[in-house]
């Protein structure tokens, strides 16, 4: 009996050892692993990633099926920006047990490595897994489109061969935000100077191009302060500089837009652009149209479509004390702005091709550069991504593009020893903006040679209602950008003077030509004075006036209405092409057609006479097409006052 009792006790101990002890030990083991995992999680939250990795690897050595360890490891490596190891641990976790969300994280990691094929695969798996909110579905659908675009873009790269500018521009400091002048002979940029023990300093520098290359960049001392200045833009005439400064005593919000004027050969003290532009929010990264009409900028102000939007505001000149007169700010609308971020606007000097940066429009990932075509001042076409490798999976900054549409300037960190540097590359032909030339004029009195503040009209003859009105400055000077691909009427007028007429025939010009640089002499209204009009057009071998003549004829009507006592002779002139007698007859009929047009539009017939001179009074050689164009003209001569 006693032996039976001992046997039963022995068998019970065996049962405890072989069956109960393992469960007891497993519970203790699970508790230890959970404690280690909790420690790893704490290390992770405190960003002690090395200790977190150590703890998690210990857990995996004990229990290779502990899925949460792999998932936390993937989070650690994501924070460390090591996407390869993040992916490795996500795959190991997925092998233990399928979880739909792991596919999302795999897709995101592959996308960050520009492995768009695998990213697309996992985005699709996650999208089709179900139990996803509508908001998340929309996000995943957008990423799927990004992957498809990126795969195609890498198969069809655009030309891109960036060249670093010389050491006269770039240094061991960071250089960025380049702005190139119309003639491509001046460069303004921001330099970030790091001095040990001091806060980094952002200042403006400029350089000029000569036959030997870029001069050593010099600081713009009149604008630079002990605070930071950056994100600048230079007006086409180089007389107005807008830029961004943050947390200044006269600021309206976190970052504001400021401006400085170039007068008397130096830059004025910078002024805040005012409450129409700046709010209590963030305003930055200005761009200025070459016709001095609109300022574009990025802002996260109320009333936008997303986080940061691009806005524009009309520039109306200066008041008597030098403050800018503004219109009302306008959001650029849904073709440009999204629920994401749109920043870094740039309007090409042709005022038609608009560039900006977005993290939401379909692209390669991060911030990409896009372009849109502008018409009628406010209608933007659907944006086009500039393509790969201009855009990559990294964040791309905005471009500044030369007037000829050929060269783009940007900043990139491609040299480990010098940080951000400024580069130039030739834009792929598929994304080049329409080139522009420009007219740089100086208007003076023909007799006294004194400068005149005159009005200048530039009329696009393909859209006669597209009229730009400018005024020369106190020095009588003005620079006007002129896009190629159309013909223009160019008029200069001042009360008490005959107006000046010029034709810019650029309809068939596709590549950049030399700019028009000339002095215009306005003649006072007096007996015998003459003005040649070059924008009155007729049908070939006919005296029928073409509709594109209306801007010039209306200018003439306005002149006669403002000088109601004048008597004029309308003279017709031709080149020497064809029969001389026929040319005289044609010129006579054309002069009469102009007189009839004036009478039909309210000018008293008694004030007008007409005469045709044919080819007999050339003002230029008939040996060239340019000369023949000058000889084909209508002349207005003052016969009486």
Cβ atoms of 519 and 442 within 8 Å: the answer is yes
The confidence score (pLDDT) of residue 29 equals: 58
Q: What tokens does 546 get?
A: 């073409």
Cβ atoms of 567 and 638 within 8 Å: the answer is yes
Banded model confidence at residue 378, pLDDT cuts 50, 70, 90: confident
Task: Determine what percent of the chain falls in helix, strand and coil, rounding each to the nearest 5.
Answer: 30, 30, 40
Alpha carbon distance 285, 242 (integer Å): 9
φ, ψ for residue 518, nearest 5 deg? -155, 160
Return mean pLDDT, the chain.
91
Maximum alpha-carbon separation in the chain = 152
Alpha carbon distance 491, 548 (integer Å): 14
pTM of the predicted protein model: 0.85
pLDDT at 447 over 50: yes
Alpha-carbon separation of residue 495 from 270, 313, 478 (angstroms): 35, 31, 18
Q: What tokens does 168 get?
A: 């006269």
Banded model confidence at residue 376, pLDDT cuts 50, 70, 90: confident
Cβ atoms of 363 and 385 within 8 Å: the answer is yes
Strands 516-522 and 436-445: parallel
Express as a percent the part of the chain with pLDDT over 70.
94
Average pLDDT of the segment spanning 100-117: 96
Is residue 546 classed as helix, strand or coil in its secondary structure?
A: coil
Per-residue pLDDT of 504-552, as tens digits, reads: 988 887 666 678 899 999 999 999 999 999 999 999 889 999 999 999 9
Q: How far is CA 210 from the centre of its chain?
A: 27
Cβ atoms of 126 and 100 within 8 Å: the answer is yes
Strands 419-426 and 266-267: unpaired
Measured N-to-C along each axis, helices 83-96 and 67-79 cross at an angle, to the nearest 10 degrees, of: 160
Alpha carbon distance 408, 410 (integer Å): 7
Average pLDDT of the segment spanning 315-338: 95
The confidence score (pLDDT) of residue 25 equals: 34
Banded model confidence at residue 339, pLDDT cuts 50, 70, 90: very high
Whether a cis peptide bond, with omega within 30° of 0, leads into 530 is no
Cβ atoms of 364 and 153 within 8 Å: the answer is yes
The confidence score (pLDDT) of residue 18 equals: 36
pLDDT at 140 over 50: yes
Q: How far is CA 513 from the centre of its chain?
A: 23
Residue for token pair 């023990």:
197
313 DSSP β-pair partners:
295
Strands 407-415 and 455-460: unpaired
Q: What tokens does 592 get?
A: 């009469």
The confidence score (pLDDT) of residue 464 equals: 66
Residue for token pair 């034709």:
503
Q: Which residues contact 345 (CB under 8 A, 6 or more apart)?
A: 285, 287, 296, 297, 298, 310, 354, 355, 356, 398
Q: Out of 49-63, 189-203, 434-448, 530-544, which region has the weakest mean confidence (pLDDT)?
A: 189-203
The confidence score (pLDDT) of residue 512 equals: 63
Per-residue pLDDT of 141-158, as tens digits, reads: 999 999 999 999 999 999
pLDDT at 11 over 60: no
DSSP track, 143-195: HHHHHHHHHHHHHSPPP---EEPPTTT--SSEEEEEEE-TTS-EEEEEEEE--
Alpha-carbon separation of residue 50 from 56, 60, 81 (angstroms): 10, 16, 14
């Amino acid at each position: 009996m006693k032996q039976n009792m001992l046997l039963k006790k022995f068998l019970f101990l065996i049962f405890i050892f072989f069956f109960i002890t393992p469960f007891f030990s497993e519970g203790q083991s699970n508790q230890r692993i959970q404690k280690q995992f909790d420690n790893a999680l704490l290390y992770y939250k405190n960003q002690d990633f090395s200790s977190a990795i150590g703890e998690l690897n210990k857990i995996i050595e004990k229990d290779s099926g502990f899925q949460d360890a792999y998932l936390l490891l993937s989070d650690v490596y994501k924070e460390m920006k090591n996407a390869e190891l993040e992916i490795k641990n996500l795959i190991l976790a997925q092998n233990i047990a399928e979880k739909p969300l792991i596919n999302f994280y795999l897709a995101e990691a592959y996308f960050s490595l520009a492995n768009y094929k695998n990213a697309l695969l996992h985005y699709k798996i996650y999208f089709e897994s179900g139990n996803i909110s509508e908001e998340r579905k929309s996000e995943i659908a957008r990423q799927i489109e990004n992957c498809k675009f990126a795969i195609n873009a890498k198969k069809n790269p655009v030309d891109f061969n960036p060249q670093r500018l010389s050491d006269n521009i770039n240094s061991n400091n960071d250089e960025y935000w380049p702005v190139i002048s119309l003639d491509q002979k001046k460069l303004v940029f921001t330099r970030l100077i790091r001095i040990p023990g001091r806060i980094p300093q952002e200042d403006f520098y400029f350089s000029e191009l000569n036959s030997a290359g870029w001069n050593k960049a010099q600081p713009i001392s009149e604008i630079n302060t002990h605070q930071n200045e950056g994100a600048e833009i230079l007006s086409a005439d180089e007389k107005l500089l807008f830029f961004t400064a943050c947390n200044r005593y006269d600021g309206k919000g976190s970052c504001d837009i400021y401006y400085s004027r170039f007068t008397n050969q130096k830059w004025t003290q910078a002024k805040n652009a005012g409450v129409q532009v700046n709010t209590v929010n963030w305003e930055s990264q200005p761009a200025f149209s070459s016709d001095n009409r609109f300022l574009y900028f990025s802002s996260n102000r109320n009333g936008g479509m997303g986080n940061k939007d691009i806005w524009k505001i009309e520039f109306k000149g200066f008041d008597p004390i030098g403050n800018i007169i503004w219109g009302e700010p306008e959001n650029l609308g849904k073709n440009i702005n999204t629920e994401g971020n749109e920043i870094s606007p740039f309007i090409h000097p042709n005022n038609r091709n608009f560039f900006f940066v977005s993290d939401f429009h379909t692209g390669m990932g991060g911030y990409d550069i896009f372009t849109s075509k502008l018409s009628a001042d406010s209608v933007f076409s659907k944006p086009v991504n500039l393509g790969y490798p201009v855009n990559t999976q990294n964040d791309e900054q905005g471009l500044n593009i030369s007037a000829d549409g050929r060269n783009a300037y940007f900043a990139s960190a491609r040299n480990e020893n010098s940080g951000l540097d400024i580069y130039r590359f030739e834009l792929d032909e598929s994304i080049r903006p329409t080139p522009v030339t420009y007219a740089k004029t100086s208007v003076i009195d023909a007799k006294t040679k004194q400068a005149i503040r005159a009005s200048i009209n530039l009329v696009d003859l393909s859209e006669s209602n597209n009229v730009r009105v400018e005024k020369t400055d106190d020095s009588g000077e003005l620079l006007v950008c002129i896009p190629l691909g159309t013909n223009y009427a160019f008029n200069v007028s001042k009360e008490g003077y005959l107006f000046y007429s010029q034709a810019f025939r650029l309809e068939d010009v596709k590549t950049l030509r030399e700019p028009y640089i000339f002095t215009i002499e306005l003649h006072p209204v007096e007996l015998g004075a003459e003005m040649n009009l070059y924008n009155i057009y007729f049908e070939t071998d006919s005296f029928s006036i073409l509709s594109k003549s209306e801007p010039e004829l209306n200018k003439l009507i306005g002149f006669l209405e403002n000088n109601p006592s004048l008597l004029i002779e309308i003279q017709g002139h031709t080149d020497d092409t064809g029969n001389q007698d026929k040319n005289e007859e044609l010129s006579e009929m054309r002069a009469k057609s102009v007189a009839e047009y004036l009478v039909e539009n309210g000018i008293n017939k008694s004030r007008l006479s007409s005469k045709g001179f044919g080819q007999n009074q050339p003002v230029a050689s008939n040996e060239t097409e340019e000369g023949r164009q000058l000889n084909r003209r209508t002349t207005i001569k003052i016969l009486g006052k």
